[in-house]
Amino acid sequence: MSNQWIQGDVFLIPIDNTQVGLGQIVDVLPSELYVVIYENAWNASSPPCPQDVVGLEPLFAALTLDAKLHHGDWKIIGNVTNNLVDIKRPLSKVRISNETYIESHDGSWSRCATPDEAEQLTFRKTVAPVRLEKALRAYYGLLEKHPAYDELRYDLVVDSTSFNRKK
């Protein structure tokens, strides 16, 4: 993973030849990025400003890789950090030695999950950036909808504020 990405970087995602979407790097991890993709679409000839992310509700969120950024498909247009405090950080479940654990998105903490908690959480997953791009295109009707895109919905993120770190 390149170290050129910075928490808060705002980038454009092509939707089609005339529209772009907006994404943001919420966290830079050693081998992946936690990004959100916002719902709005803008005319590609007059794209949004980085500050436009402030106050927007994310549409999709995922741990992903940096390929689309690295190759310039997703162009960084600026950096905004004052909205990051409002963006949910996902919790996931992992299996360690046949036990289910809750783990923070960055791996900074984990603990045994109760059966109810394990039921609510999904297993940790990193998706290719192209899946996020396709999910956005499907949202705007340019591609067929797919269950794999629904899994990326931001409203499904179980946030660390929903669970105690200690049980």
Whether residue 11 has pLDDT greater than 80? yes
The DSSP-derived string for 2-62 is: -S---TTEEEEEE-SSSEEEEEEEEEE-SS-EEEEEES--EETTSPPPGGGGTTPPEEEEE
Tell me the C-alpha distance between 35 and 126, whole Å: 11
3-state secondary structure of 67: helix
Residue 108 has pLDDT above 70, yes or no: yes
At residue 114, φ and ψ (nearest 5 deg) are: -75, 160
Mean pLDDT of 94-118: 92
pLDDT digits (tens, 9 = 90+) for 55-73: 999 999 999 999 999 999 9
- The ranges assigned to domains in the chain are 9-88+124-158
pTM of the model: 0.92
Return phi, psi of residue 162, to 5°: -80, -15
- DSSP β-ladder status, 126-127 and 58-64: parallel
pLDDT tens by residue, 115-130: 999 999 999 999 999 9
Q: What is the mean pLDDT of residues 74-95?
A: 96
Q: How far is CA 162 from CA 36, 90, 117, 120, in A?
A: 19, 10, 10, 11
User: Which residue's entry shows tokens 């190759």?
Assistant: 71
Give the separation between CA 101 and CA 159, rounded to whole angstroms: 15
pLDDT value of residue 61: 98
